[in-house]
Structure 1
């Protein structure tokens, strides 16, 4: 299916407010008509009331009053149309930004695996802002200019049809100049937008990994890499400004001066011959001078328009990515939590399987641990269970139902997950546990924190449960952050609890608290644990040992130790003992 053009899609956003825009344009026509009436009134005063034969003051004052009235109408109308158009533009961009934000939540995680976060941020923040300039500045300027030019040429034909015909050559001439301007300017604007996106991505990455950059003394190298991007954007911006300077005000002003000189010569010659009045001469020059202001206005906004179209292409490219709708889950019943993998094979890249024929079953109330070296496929199993990716072969079921038949939201509604690197959001502690879920009361938050052993340190904080947490929770220790993320998972009361190396980065004392809490919260739930510390999974009902994407051993701790295989060696190494 052919996708609509960028222009049509932008027009579709504007079409939602068509009546508001049409109303603004009608008010604009009134404003332009009022503005263009001024020179004609002046011409009437000069020709009919400032001649030696007529010297009546009354009609002149009446016409001047009419002139002032037109100026007042033009002023009010211009304010009204500008306010309506710009308010509409802001509403259009608000809608577009929300559409992009909604869509990035529908896009599969594969996209984020290969896309820098800064580029996505740039699409939502910078590129939509550039599109705003199209609706706020260029659209208003273009429409105003078109209406003004139409009105000006109507007035010119009323004054002198033959000379007005010659003036009709000006718009096509300026259109040709604009086409040339757009052709060469777009090249540099596209590069500029791309470099801005790259710079945002690099800035985002640098801030996230600043401790690594400083620890490994990579500051100068990072600056050098950023300078390359910054310099490339600067060079292309200079080239674009050069084109703008040559083909906008400069050339329009030159042509305007030449045309005005020719008109003065034309009228001057006819005035000497007595064929034309001074009032017509004045009005024609006034209207002619007004032709070039709308043209300059359009030229001034061409860069914004090009930037907007380049940005719109990038925004719509994001919105064209296939995604799944975020569905409501109010009616989703709680599952028993029986998880089953049947001959599951999966690859992030085609031909490079990270899981091969994986089969196991985790029943309600059981704890299943996944162990193995880095890259063995542990996290991939969890990613498939959560529906972040789809298996290439095989079947994954919960309570006997294929998880591909669930919506992603229904699938995850009764799952809780705790990651190795816990993420805390900006907000207070009670929000970080409840995540604004209305079903989770303050008492439930406190109970969850108490169950995982976090209540004592939370209550010692200056504001207790209302203590503000900065982004990522950097003011708390890793163990404290982990305990809060445990409480978050428990507060949601999941049927299936997933612990992804959740005890790998905490101290022994905190680990002891979590282990004690887990014995309570795991009862009645299916719990899957990815563990590096084998000492934390000794009580697991089933331990799966993975190696290069395959389950090479399975059983409980005693069975695997008795087997004397890979698990036995890993356990002995962690205890610091030599395997026999």
Structure 2
């Protein structure tokens, strides 16, 4: 849970929020102006009723009574109209601010390093970007502006009451200190309860996101009952947090009603005596009854609105904690060569995800333009880390990585990544059309280019058979496609972007033999004229590589061509013998 300021209102935080109000100054000004008008209109109706009773009803002045009735209806209509625009503008302001803020948060999140996502639950980020942002909208529609309006209304009502009869006003305000104390106690209690609610909402979102995403694993291993029990515990905590907050409301509101009844009782007692003593008129008592109701309502709601403001501040603090995260890949490079060749050089590279638990140790190799480098080794040897570094998903600790003799940190980041196409074993497809999953909504890539790339891969036929062809919706994570079909789409994606550097990370590991044969020729064609780095467990797919590097615990153990490594009779040869013998394939001698 984000650290919450102990201040009633964090001014520095409000300033940051109001930075997003600047484009909507006119709406904000109108909201404040309408708030002031509403506060000024509040005491008018009770005063008109007092005037009507004392001057026109008592004197049986029918014409005057009719005029006052029309005036009161007019005031009511004006008040209704002002209230409508006030609600309309404050909500527009709140939604406009969170629209811009949500864009800022999303842009910032997409620029963060992968290291940040390694330790931050996705469900937590969803909570920040969706529900926490909604609490900021409430600052304008139900919080700050409404609080200002309620305070102005209280001041206006008390001022009119004092002007009308200061003695009666002091009498009916005797219970007011009790209300102030009760409101303060309620505010502090409900603030703590709301913070717990937000924490439990975040926990619930995180659990749901992870378990719905991993539903296959849960079902594969028949873990439904165990996970339901976990969900029940988290859901119970979520329920208890809400019940706790509702419990405070169930106590506070009756207390306010009791205090309001005390004021009303004092009014009846003092007002009756004053009427009998001919010190005040009956109209004054009637107007004061209305004033008491109008006075206690905003005071009662002030505590609630203040906590709405507090929750908006808590949400803002959580949001800005994400925006203040500095784990962004620095994009200070300016290099954008017109003709990138794809010459890759790793020189004495050391890399660790955490502290000095080295994943790569003093790695050095050179891949000339157009060459193919293959990386082999056991799980955790550092193969995928090598390509993550090349894309600058993670930054190295020591050494240097260069492309065409230029350090990768000197390239403009978007330029660097646009020239490296990576095909992964675990293909991610968005809930969108096949076309948009290939071009990633890049309008510069034409349908003709998509069709040509699909034809090269050998995927055009299966795409044409789908309803809508390239406009077929693959659903979430490509659920309506087979693993092989999804992998073929990832190859088309790599082709249409025409990269200078191609990375295949276990790209055929999840593909059946028939599909692998289908795309093998396309891979060969895709590699022509491009620098390629291939990570593969199937050694049959890398025998034609110009150079093979054997990694073990982040160190280069062997390096050479397929035939050279077989002659060494080392790690690669043992792996080769083990794999080919287990597959029943006679290796070439």
Determine helix, strand or coil for the equivalent of 2:450.
Answer: helix
> Deviation string for 1:449-498 (max 9, x for gaps)?
11111112112223222222111111111111101101101100001111
Q: Distance in 2 between matches of 1:206 and 1:121?
A: 14
Q: For structure 1, which segment, 155-164 or 548-557, has the greater mean C-alpha deviation from structure 2 after superposition? A: 155-164
- Aligned pair partner of 1:445 in 421, 441, 450: 450
The range that moved more, 506-515 or 321-330, is: 321-330
Q: 1:522, CA displacement in angstroms? A: 0.8
Residue from 437, 440, 445 that aligns with 1:432: 437
- Unaligned runs of 5+ residues in structure 2 are none
Asked if the contact 1:31/1:73 (under 8 Å) is kept, the reply is no
Q: Of 283, 293, 307, which aligns to 2:287?
A: 283
Pick one of 399, 415, 428 that aligns with 1:410: 415
1:286-435 to structure 2, matched below 5 A, reads 286-322=290-326, 323-324=328-329, 333-435=338-440
Whether 1:250 and 2:257 are equivalent positions in the alignment is no
Aligned to 1:515: 520
Q: Per-residue deviation at 1:286? A: 1.6
CA-based RMSD:
2.4
Distance 2:193 2:411 in 1: 47
Q: Determine the structure 2 residue equivalent to 1:133.
A: 138
Counterpart CA distance in 1 for 2:102 and 2:180 is: 33
Structure 1 residues 271 and 4: CA distance shift in structure 2, 3 A: closer
Report if the CA contact (8 A) 1:334-1:414 is conserved.
Answer: no
Partners of 2:332 and 2:410 within 8 A in 1: no
Matches within 5 A, 1:420-569: 420-569=425-574
- Among 121, 124, 127, the alignment partner of 1:119 is 124
Separation in 2 of the partners of 1:328 and 1:377? 26
**Contact preservation (8 Å) 1:497, 1:528:** yes
Shift of 1:544: 0.6
Aligned with 1:498: secondary structure?
strand
The Cα of 1:573 is off from its aligned counterpart by: 0.8
In 1, the alpha carbon distance for the partners of 2:178 and 2:500 equals 72
Check conservation: 2:122, 2:206, Cα contact below 8 A.
yes
Q: Partners in 2 of 1:159 and 1:328 — Cα distance?
A: 72
Aligned length: 576
Contact 2:334 2:410 in 1 (8 A): no
Is the Cα–Cα contact under 8 Å of residues 427 and 470 in structure 1 kept in the other structure? Answer: yes
2-structure distance, mates of 1:171, 1:537: 83
Counterpart CA distance in 1 for 2:511 and 2:145 is: 58
Q: For residues 400 and 328 of structure 1, what CA distance do their matches in structure 2 show?
A: 14
The question of 1:6 aligning with 2:13 is answered yes
Change in 2 beyond 3 A, CA 1:418/1:327: farther
CA distance in 2, matches of 1:15, 1:257: 44
Deviates more, 1:38-47 or 1:554-563: 38-47
Output one character per residue of 1:308-333: Cα deviation in whole Å (capped at 9) or x when no partner: 33322222211110135779999663
Shift of 1:259: 1.0
Q: How does 1:39-50 map to 2 (within 5 A)?
A: 39-50=46-57
Does residue 222 of structure 2 align to residue 221 of structure 1? no
Q: Structure 1: where are the runs of 5+ without partners? A: none
Using a 3 Å threshold, how does the CA distance of structure 1 residues 167 and 543 change in structure 2: closer, same or farther?
farther
**Cα drift, residue 168 of structure 1:** 5.7
**Is the aligned partner of 1:155 residue 2:153?**
no
How far does residue 63 in structure 1 lie from its aligned partner after superposition? 2.0
Q: Displacement of 1:15 after TM fit? A: 4.9
The alpha carbon displacement at 1:134 in A equals 3.0
C-alpha displacement at 1:438, in angstroms?
2.2
Provide the C-alpha distance between the structure 2 equivalents of 1:546 and 1:206, rounded to a whole number of angstroms: 34
Are residues 343 and 172 of structure 1, via their aligned partners in 2, closer, same or farther at CA, if it must alter by over 3 Å?
A: farther
Seen in structure 2, the aligned counterparts of structure 1 residues 36 and 182 have a Cα distance that, compared at 3 Å, is closer
Matched residue SS, 1:576: helix
TM-score calculated relative to the size of structure 1: 0.94
- Report the CA distance shift for 1:329/1:163 in structure 2 as closer, same or farther (over 3 A): farther
Deviates more, 1:510-519 or 1:341-350: 510-519
